[in-house]
């Protein structure tokens, strides 16, 4: 689990969990709890950064996440950060 910060201010968390080593994949979960940061690109930035860490540090090939139907902002974050066929 990693914190999402704006300077010293803790505004959310993002985590990689559920590692499946044979397939080199894991799930990401995240929350930007401070509503003042919603719609400002913070979630997208966090997902992008954790994706880089998943590839470089953990040598993963695939990340996945679930999203609630009503959570349009999170759905947009995941669609923006969807990259397939890198390998």
**What confidence tens digit (pLDDT) does each residue in 9-45 have?**
999 999 999 988 888 999 999 999 999 999 999 999 9
**Sign of the dihedral through C-alpha 25, 18, 66, 80:** negative
- What is the signed CA dihedral for 41, 11, 46, 6, rounded to 10 degrees? 80
pLDDT per position as a tens digit, 54-77: 989 989 988 999 888 899 989 999
Q: What is the rounded radius of gyration, in angstroms, for the C-alpha atoms of the chain?
A: 13
**pLDDT value at position 21?**
83
Q: Domain 2-80 carries which CATH code? A: 3.40.630.30
């Amino acid at each position: 689990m990693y914190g999402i910060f704006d300077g010293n201010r803790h505004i959310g968390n993002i985590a990689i969990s559920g590692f499946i080593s044979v397939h080199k994949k894991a799930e990401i979960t995240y929350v930007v709890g401070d509503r003042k940061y919603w719609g400002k690109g913070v979630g997208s930035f966090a997902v992008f950064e954790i994706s880089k860490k998943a590839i470089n540090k953990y040598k993963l090939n695939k990340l996945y996440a679930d999203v609630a139907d009503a959570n349009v902002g999170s759905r947009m974050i995941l669609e923006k950060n969807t990259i397939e066929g890198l390998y």
